[in-house]
């Protein structure tokens, strides 16, 4: 077939290098993977039972496209209690995972030619979406600020692109891949420059419940009229495969995004929505045992990677350590992960797809055994390389 | 909030008038609805059990974004046997219902400014998607050809828009709302003009399994290099709320649409994909009892509506009768359905959202009792109106 019959903006984006790498190394039967952002916990039993009940009760018909009313009411209450979100049920839309939530938000807020800031390193979805929607993307490197976007960097990004209409910012807090969680002070410092410049924030807070020693602080508290919050149950309730996301925003915005959502997917699956009602009604504490495990693992991985000579910025949230490859290794992120996968049967994610080729990402949403094996392999690789160099 | 911060192409589309009307009349506790395209059957038990098993087996992790390999293999075999589709597993993508399948196909094939033909009356999704994607839409009225798109009409549509690059056609066969199913001869007559003009067909065959007295004939058989087939389990297996769609197309196209799909929704829900494997492996005959019922109901509704003075074109498929309101009533489709809902507590769908305000759509995927009550009410409305006019 002729590729000239394909939308050129679709040709411009590549399939997710992350998921392709994960898929490719999966053919090695010995591989231990710390690649995808995939909790190794199961969906809590009471939520599974709610999904089963929905199936048995034949809840298999079209849900109203905004999402079931009881689900939106449960979400309003749950996130008010968790993070102080101020959204009523009619300011909430139920989506097919956080991915559809971000995709529909980008489509709704921005028209072709608008410019959008993405602080990097960043989850690759964001840049793919700005490309697919024919937006101008401004990548802002945050690695010299401990991975925090500062107001100065926002001002600079605007000043550097005088011909572009900077309309948006896609913020991911806590951050994938860095694990960095913004403090209340950092958010409060960032808000005024966004307000002044009329910049809408798509605030992806999917890891909001996974913070360690600090409480998640949503930018929606200080910039309510220009913030769209993305959340969902994939990480907090280990429900990645169920695909349940949520969008919170001003009423006028939710009315608009509901149309995009409807014409993209019709609705999130009915049985999954029933599971979500249960999660948000009786699952307030479901993440607690996971959190405890994650924190222990984070401490272990951060320590081990530092010992192996990697640079690690303190990860306050999510379940990732983003570690800078020691200069001595003279390896970029692909060299490192390919060597580690082929010779040591350990899968880590290269930093390159996130925008920084000097780093690797370790997902510690994995078993203690897998993490121990991975850390041992990383240290072995460093030692082997050092021995080879010395020879 | 300011609406000038919303994408103007999003402002241009309206929420589905169909779903809004259905939602609005649902507040009447006495209402009997024949509105949505919603089977009144339940998901077959063996499929429900497969979904329950997947939940119990903790199949809650990210599926590979193309869809599980066994599901795509099952789809290849199933649809080859049903309709002679010629697609191998790697030419099949699993989507969030047929809606996401059509949305991703439109996004992948066409760039802003391309022109796309939509034969009307049509399912409103198609025009919403061409608008959202900034395409030029050519609506071609088929009501004077018994709702069949003819090659002459295609030639005429191209000739009428000399400045537009006509790149696509969205065909829905069997058709919603008319119930018309194209014959092999009609498809064979249509293909050459599309081939000659390099027009890609998005062939929405979601009702393909629901034909009466004729076998569904896919345009992909005669135009394989320019056809994208849309199908799914919503209608054939009464799985509307589960959201499971399928896209079939040339390999080069599937590689491209897989990216759009991934960056829109990540993947279809894992537990739903397991249900779908069961449906496509052991559910070949699931639609048979439904079909038998549908055919009986279709005959009843078509007869009753004709007796009430409505014009009915023979519906060979789907589960709709599209009936022309008697001129004597002097009502457009909104007048008619609003009167019928308010005064007789029966919900039918107005023809207007489908592009023809002189018709109403009756979904006969409803119980015999509901259909009998509806037909009685329609006849009563006609009689009451006639009495009033005579007074």
Residues ≥6 apart with Cβ < 8 Å to B199: B117, B154, B166, B167, B168, B169, B193, B226
User: What 8-state DSSP symbol labels residue B240?
Assistant: G
User: Looking at A224, A253, A282, which one is the last position of a domain?
Assistant: A282
Does the distance separating the beta carbons of B260 and A96 come in below 8 Å? no
Same domain, A224 and A299: no
**pLDDT at position A16:** 85
What is the four-CA torsion angle of A354, A355, A361, A365, rounded to 10 degrees? -20
Does the distance separating the beta carbons of B132 and A263 come in below 8 Å? yes
Same domain, A193 and A299: no
For residues A51-79, average pLDDT:
96
- Answer whether B365's CB lies under 8 Å from B298's CB: no
Top residue of B122, B271, B273, B276 to mutate, by most chain A CBs within 10 Å, is B271
Q: Which two tokens stand for residue A126?
A: 């964001």
Between A72 and A386, the higher pLDDT residue: A72
Closest residue in A to B269 (Cα–Cα): A242
Residues ≥6 apart with Cβ < 8 Å to A268: A63, A67, A94, A95, A96, A243, A244, A245, B243
Same domain, A309 and A249: no
Same domain, B117 and B252: yes
Same domain, B73 and B25: no
For residues A285-295, average pLDDT:
95
- Above 90 in pLDDT, residue B188? yes
Q: Which domain holds residue A168?
A: 45-282
Q: Which two tokens stand for residue A281?
A: 């009604």
Task: Please tell me the distance from the alpha carbon of residue B215 to that of residue B370, in angstroms, as a whole number.
Answer: 28
Same domain, A210 and A273: yes
Which among B62, B134, B256 has the least Cβ separation from residue A241?
B62
Cβ contacts (< 8 Å) between B258 and chain A: which residues?
Answer: 15
In DSSP notation, B253-313 reads HHHHHHHHHHHHHSSS-HHHHHHHHHHHHH-TTTHHHHHHHHHHHHHHHHHHHHHTT-EE-
For residues B142-146, average pLDDT:
96
CATH number at A247 reads 3.40.640.10
Q: Over chain B, what is the mean pLDDT?
A: 96
pLDDT, tens digit, for every residue of B25-72? 999 999 999 998 888 899 999 999 999 999 999 999 999 899 999 999
pLDDT, tens digit, for every residue of B254-277? 999 999 999 999 999 999 999 999
Task: Please tell me the distance from the alpha carbon of residue A336 to that of residue A384, in angstroms, as a whole number.
Answer: 13
Does the distance separating the beta carbons of A55 and B51 come in below 8 Å? yes
Closest residue in B to A22 (Cα–Cα): B64
- Above 70 in pLDDT, residue A3? no
Same domain, A250 and A299: no
Helices (H), chain B: 8-12, 17-25, 45-56, 69-83, 97-109, 125-132, 151-160, 184-196, 251-265, 270-282, 287-307, 333-344, 368-390
For residues B112-137, average pLDDT:
97
Closest residue in A to B56 (Cα–Cα): A48
Top residue of A2, A3, A5, A247 to mutate, by most chain B CBs within 10 Å, is A5
User: CB neighbours (10 Å) of residue A139?
Assistant: 16
User: Looking at B282, B307, B322, which one is the last position of a domain?
Assistant: B282
Top residue of B7, B26, B238 to mutate, by most chain A CBs within 10 Å, is B7
For the ranges A4-18, A296-310, A368-382, B63-77, which has the lowest average pLDDT? Answer: A4-18
- Above 60 in pLDDT, residue B1? no
**pLDDT at position A1:** 56
**pLDDT at position A324:** 98
User: Is A56 at the interface with chain B, CB within 8 A?
Assistant: yes
Task: Please tell me the distance from the alpha carbon of residue B103 to that of residue B110, in angstroms, as a whole number.
Answer: 11
User: Is B278 at the interface with chain A, CB within 8 A?
Assistant: no
**% of chain A surpassing 70 pLDDT:** 98
**% of chain A surpassing 90 pLDDT:** 92
Q: Show contacts of B135-138: CB within 8 Å, 24+ apart.
A: B135/B106, B135/B110, B136/B161, B136/B164, B138/B164, B138/B166
- Answer whether A89's CB lies under 8 Å from A146's CB: no
In DSSP notation, A95-123 reads ESHHHHHHHHHHHHH--TT-EEEEEES--
CATH number at B34 reads 3.90.1150.10
Same domain, B271 and B343: no
- Above 80 in pLDDT, residue A317? yes
User: What 8-state DSSP symbol labels residue B5?
Assistant: G
Between A64 and A100, the higher pLDDT residue: A100
**pLDDT at position A26:** 92
Which contiguous run of DSSP H or E holds residue B124? none
Same domain, A226 and A293: no
User: Looking at B245, B262, B282, which one is the last position of a domain?
Assistant: B282
Task: Please tell me the distance from the alpha carbon of residue A87 to that of residue A83, in angstroms, as a whole number.
Answer: 11
Q: Over chain A, what is the mean pLDDT?
A: 96
Same domain, A21 and A105: no
User: Is B27 at the interface with chain A, CB within 8 A?
Assistant: no
Same domain, A58 and A203: yes
**pLDDT at position A236:** 96
In DSSP notation, B40-78 reads SSPPPHHHHHHHHHHHHTT--SPPPTT--HHHHHHHHHH
- Integer angstrom CA distances of residue B264 from A102, A154, B146: 8, 27, 37
Specify the pairing of strand A115-120 against strand A136-141.
parallel
CA of B323 vs chain A CAs: smallest distance (Å): 25
Same domain, B336 and B267: no
CA of A43 vs chain B CAs: smallest distance (Å): 7
For the ranges A5-9, A252-256, B51-55, which has the lowest average pLDDT? Answer: A5-9
Report the number of distinct structural domains present in chain A.
2
- Above 80 in pLDDT, residue B391? no
Does the distance separating the beta carbons of A3 and B38 come in below 8 Å? no
Does the distance separating the beta carbons of A239 and B60 come in below 8 Å? yes
Does the distance separating the beta carbons of A10 and B256 come in below 8 Å? yes
């Amino acid at each position: 077939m002729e590729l000239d019959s394909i939308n050129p903006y679709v040709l411009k984006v590549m399939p997710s290098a992350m998921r392709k790498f994960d898929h490719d190394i999966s053919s090695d039967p010995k591989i231990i993977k710390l690649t995808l952002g995939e909790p190794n916990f199961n969906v809590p039993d009471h939520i599974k039972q709610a999904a089963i009940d929905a199936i048995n009760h034949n809840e298999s018909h079209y849900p109203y496209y905004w999402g079931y009313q009881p689900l939106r009411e449960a979400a309003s209450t749950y996130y008010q209690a968790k993070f102080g979100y101020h959204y009523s049920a009619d300011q909430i839309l139920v989506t097919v995972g956080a991915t559809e939530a971000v995709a529909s938000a980008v489509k709704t807020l921005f028209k072709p030619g608008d410019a959008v800031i993405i602080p990097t390193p960043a989850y690759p979805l964001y840049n793919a979406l700005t490309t697919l929607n024919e937006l101008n993307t401004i990548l802002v490197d945050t690695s010299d600020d401990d991975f925090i976007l500062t107001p100065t960097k926002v001002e600079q990004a605007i000043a550097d692109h005088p011909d572009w209409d900077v309309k948006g910012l896609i913020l991911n807090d806590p951050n994938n891949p860095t694990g960095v969680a913004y403090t209340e002070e950092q958010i409060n410092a960032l808000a005024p420059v966004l307000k002044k410049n009329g910049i809408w924030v798509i605030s992806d807070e999917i890891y909001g419940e996974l913070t360690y020693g600090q409480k998640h602080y949503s930018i929606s508290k200080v910039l309510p009229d220009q913030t769209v919050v993305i959340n969902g149950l994939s990480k907090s309730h280990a429900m990645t495969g169920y695909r349940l996301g949520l969008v919170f925003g001003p009423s006028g915005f939710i009315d608009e995004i509901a149309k995009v959502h409807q014409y993209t997917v019709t609705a999130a699956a009915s049985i999954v929505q029933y599971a979500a009602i249960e999660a948000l009604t009786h699952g307030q504490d479901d993440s607690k045992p996971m959190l405890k495990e994650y924190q222990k693992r984070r401490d272990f991985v951060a320590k081990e990677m530092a010992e192996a000579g990697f640079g690690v910025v303190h990860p306050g949230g999510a379940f990732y350590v983003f570690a800078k490859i020691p200069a001595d290794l003279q390896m970029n992120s692909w060299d490192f992960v390919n060597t580690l996968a082929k010779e040591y049967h350990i899968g880590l994610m290269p930093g390159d797809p996130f925008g920084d080729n000097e780093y690797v990402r370790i997902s510690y949403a994995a078993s203690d055994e897998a993490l121990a094996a991975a850390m041992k392999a990383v240290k072995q690789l460093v030692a082997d390389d050092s021995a080879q160099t010395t020879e």
